Amino acid sequence: MHAHDPKLSADHSNEIGLYAKRKSVFPKAIDGPFRRFKWLVMAVCLAVYWGTPWIRWDRGPYAPDQAVLIDMGNRRFFMFDIEIWPHEFYFVAGLLIMAGVGLFLLTSAVGRAWCGYACPQTVWTDLFQHVDRFVDGDRNAQMRLQKAPWGPAKIARRALKWSIYLLISFGTGGAWIFYFADAPTLQHEFWTGTAAPVAYATTFVLTMTTFVLGGFMREQVCIYMCPWPRIQTAMLDEKSLIVTYKDWRGEPRGSVKAALKAATPLGDCIDCMQCVAVCPTGIDIREGPQIGCITCALCIDACDKAMADVGRPRGLIDYCTLENAEREKRGQPVTPVLRSIFHPRTLVYLGVWSAIGLALLFALGQRARLDLSVAKDRNPEYVTLSDGAVRNAYTLKLRNMEERPRTYRIALQGLEAGAIFTDEMDAATAARVLTVDVAPDTTRQLRVYALAPRGSKPADFAFVLAATDKEGGSDLAATTFTTAQGNGQ
């Protein structure tokens, strides 16, 4: 009965939506030094990503010949001459820490350069935006097509564009799996339908995420999803390089025509909106530093071009520290860019980053290529033989990290009256030193028995592993010998 009572109708006109509606961004093509640098970085990033799994690396007949390989099956990580075993995972952890500190270092030195040039989201979004221009034309043509009603021409263009998106996405998702298996073999298996299901599943998931994130979500990822801009914003200070609109020089803004008619002189900004038109995240840098600015510097290229067209000096929008911006505003001399880049915080990050790198290199140079670990049988801890001798059993793991077979000597250190033998030997032939072969790039598990004569006391002792070849190398694993009198301590 009250449905049409105006007093009872809800007024939603002033409500703020929970989610901001996406404003489509149609960045205009621009040329300039920063755009060319972006091209270069994009080419290098894509070449590295797509090319790396195809680089071959000769490690001899017993190891894979792929330069970079994450071999999940054998639990190895190969990177050129470096091979990381599971027990050496601290190297990978070290590299990840270096990558994290490296991002802090980069942000401290040159602001959000990672976001602007090398982040995969930036690189692939940029790539897709070039596809847009290739298929639909530049900014104005794209905007016209967006507004145009659906018809055969629009459907055909969209179908072509999304097919190219899909092709790039498939190439991206498909390339990832080649890091985890021999690339030529996996490629053959993939196309003949004989690859592992996980290879197809991974390719599908990565294809779809690239298609959606790079093709459609684009700047939304940077502005709403990625945590890195928030962290970086907290890290920026007055010495950080950011892309700045020099409002003290540009304001009050107005077109060249308006400037001619104005009673008082206008600033250098001719309000041509080119900085906004080229921005891949669709923001207006003249409104001040903001989270949506990935510091790609394309607006610098656009504004420099606008300034050149009206015969004014470049740099109305420029890379600048907030400190220098304030100085410039007050007419004071500015700090040279290099000093801004290498300020104390950057040097501290550089020091930490280099220290971790050097420590990893040192550890890499020092690491042994063989390894021994021992596990003593706990049940039973010892066995008394008919002649009164005491026997303890151990499982030895002999690791050969070389890409060639090696012969090792296993010797007893301590347990003076003791001797050792294996399952393949007779106890009567037990000796203080055994010789065993270990295949390349493997861990050999060996049951070893230590034998001590009647009346022997419990003791601490060690197995010593030593390579017999000229490269040598040794390792030692301490353990105990148990008798009826207890454990060695």
By CB under 6 A, name the binding residues for ligand SF4. Answer: 243, 245, 250, 269-275, 278-281, 283, 285-286, 293-299, 302-303, 306, 316-317
Minimum gap (Å) between residue 22 Cβ and ligand SF4? 16
Closest CA to 368 of 405, 397, 402, 403: 402
Nearer to ligand SF4 among residue 213 and residue 297 (C-beta): 297
User: Measured between alpha carbons, how far is 388 from 253 in angstroms, rounded to an integer?
Assistant: 102
Is the bond leading into 252 cis (omega within 30 degrees of zero)? Answer: yes
Q: What is the largest CA-CA distance in the chain?
A: 117
**The 3-state secondary structure of 36-91, one letter per residue:** HHHHHHHHHHHHHHHHHHHCECCCCCCCCCECEEEECCCCEEEECCEEECHHHCHH
Nearer to ligand SF4 among residue 310 and residue 358 (C-beta): 310
Minimum gap (Å) between residue 245 Cβ and ligand SF4? 6
Q: Quick one: CA torsion of 358, 359, 364, 368, rounded to 10 degrees? A: 150
Minimum gap (Å) between residue 301 Cβ and ligand SF4? 9
- Between 152-177 and 183-192, two packed helices, what is the crossing angle to 10 degrees? 130
Nearer to ligand SF4 among residue 309 and residue 437 (C-beta): 309
User: Measured between alpha carbons, how far is 76 from 460 in angstroms, rounded to an integer?
Assistant: 34
Cα within 13 Å of Cα(464), Cβ side: 13
Classify each residue of 86-101 as buried b or exposed e, where b means 16 or more C-beta atoms within 10 Å of its C-beta. eebeebeebbeebeeb
Nearer to ligand SF4 among residue 76 and residue 246 (C-beta): 246
Q: Return all residues near 150 (Cβ < 8 A) that are at least 6 apart.
A: none
Minimum gap (Å) between residue 137 Cβ and ligand SF4? 20
Nearer to ligand SF4 among residue 124 and residue 190 (C-beta): 124
Closest CA to 131 of 169, 162, 175: 162
Minimum gap (Å) between residue 70 Cβ and ligand SF4? 34
Nearer to ligand SF4 among residue 317 and residue 459 (C-beta): 317
User: SS3 of 424, please?
Assistant: coil
Nearer to ligand SF4 among residue 63 and residue 285 (C-beta): 285
Minimum gap (Å) between residue 363 Cβ and ligand SF4? 40
Nearer to ligand SF4 among residue 293 and residue 389 (C-beta): 293
User: Measured between alpha carbons, how far is 109 from 241 in angstroms, rounded to an integer?
Assistant: 7
Rg (CA), the chain: 34
Nearer to ligand SF4 among residue 300 and residue 430 (C-beta): 300
Nearer to ligand SF4 among residue 226 and residue 383 (C-beta): 226
Residue 84 contacts residue 76 (beta carbons within 8 Å): yes
Which sign does the torsion angle of CA 269, 270, 271, 275 carry? negative
